[in-house]
Structure 1
Amino acid sequence: MKYGSVRSATNLALLVLIGWFLTSWRHADAQVFFAGQAAERDFIAMFAFNGRSETDVKNQMRMLSGIQVDLVAKIGELDEQQTDKLQAATESDIRRFFREVDQVRHQLDEMKLGPNDINEAWQVVSPIQVRMNAGIFGEQSLFQRVIKSVLTPDQQTAYQDELVRQRVRRWNIITRMNIAEIERNSMPLTSSQRDQLLAVLEKVELPATLNKQMDGYAGYIRLTGSAKHDQQLKKFLTPAQMKVIDQYRLRYEGWLGQVVP
């Protein structure tokens, strides 16, 4: 296995995932966007796709699946036939997901909801959002089953280890973005303070099961879970800065109980 090739694929995956985080709208933002639309609303785009079209979401999934297949193929040194089998599995998972989307869309059509029937629409669409957040190539996917059939146990371990490294790097990037938001909004930091704070936060573990919605708040969740490091934080942060951190912890403490490893 050529580690450089695997690393290149991993870096590309990280760039795509971070780009997705930066360009995707949060749930509340999508609601604001559609609130001004007098015409019939696409509730699936609003609640499940963060304002994006079905075509955009499908293309994004295919791009991500290609990156994942490439990563598995390089780790397992798979031949063309095995790689094609993996690609076919991801395509099957995508088709299955959008069949579920079509079923939900049909159900919404039958309900004949008006533009203000937000709560009723949310009840119908929320399972799609849950599937999106969990990832359609997760443990229950055909893709994962095929991986187990084409990789040896050692190769599966190498693949899982690479996913862990990729996940931690992604969380570290998002943590930096979240801290930058805090700096802009309420707590300027010196360069030294920022570096020390990030070093502490990167010690705070997050579970592999962190869903995509929470993924974008990795830094805030880590900040909330950093209370056990307060003695260290107080060595380089002022009392006023610690007060700001406590305010963010209070805001996100409800999330921490959902994601403790």
Structure 2
Amino acid sequence: MRVFLAGATGVIGSRLLPLLLAEGHQVTALTRRTTDAEGLRSLGAEPAVADAYDAESLTRALRNAAPEVVIHQLTDLGGASAEANAHMRRTGTRNLTDAAVEAGVRRIVAQSVAWAYQGGDIPATEPTPLDLEADLPRATTVRGVAALEATVREAPEWVVLRYGVLYGPGTWYAPGGLMAERALAGELATDGDICSFLRVEDAAAAALAALDWPSGPVNICDDEPATGHAWIPVFCAAVGAPAPPRSPGPERHDWARGADNRYAREELGWSPRHRSWRDGFTGSLL
């Protein structure tokens, strides 16, 4: 299969690329840096140098690649700015989708998140509406996610991977990452907010599997949604931080409910290799 991988050098894309190549797919790997091109070529991919914010260059890259499938793993997280990442979800996704449709691409597989749902008392399933009435600053993320998901639906076939919070090397949840720095500074306090996690290797494996999935959104996360009272002390210990304080704020935000992965497990046959953050934080995270 001819695959166009956008975000090929990112934390998920760099793990997904060798999986695609090992399965025999012909991969065009998008990067905005010319310095990445030779490395991508040495792995077996055909590099395409273009900026997601440059619609003309992106259209040219898709036209030249003539892929059957586009995998969208583009993010803008370097500055830890929710607005920058929302801008990528809105504008980068629009440019990528327009270029893909113009090039005759039949399927788009796109990265989304599993924490943009409306509030509730149990982990959210895929039919749960997005939290479009959220207040700022949460609204910035939710509206960016909603724009991304609405845009990729313009493709003839589409799969939206609603990833849990990523952890593992290269993410914020790893030694040296942003959340580890917060933990070491005593800024990560426990609370009742519920979170669903996902190891980065499991995220890549799901994107590979989604090449054959039916159109629709899919929660891709581990099997154990957890409160901050449960996971934060384990994470702090894993990164060598002191025991965390308890948050003085509300016990749980209504929207912090975690996500249910039963559709992926029971209907699509996908399950995470890392079934719980407990094992990841205490073992393979380090």
TM class by smaller structure: 0.3 to 0.5
- Please, what TM-score do these two structures have when normalized by structure 1? 0.33
- Please, what TM-score do these two structures have when normalized by structure 2? 0.31
> Which structure has more helix as a fraction of its residues?
1
> Which structure has more strand as a fraction of its residues?
2
Q: Which has the greater radius of gyration?
A: 1
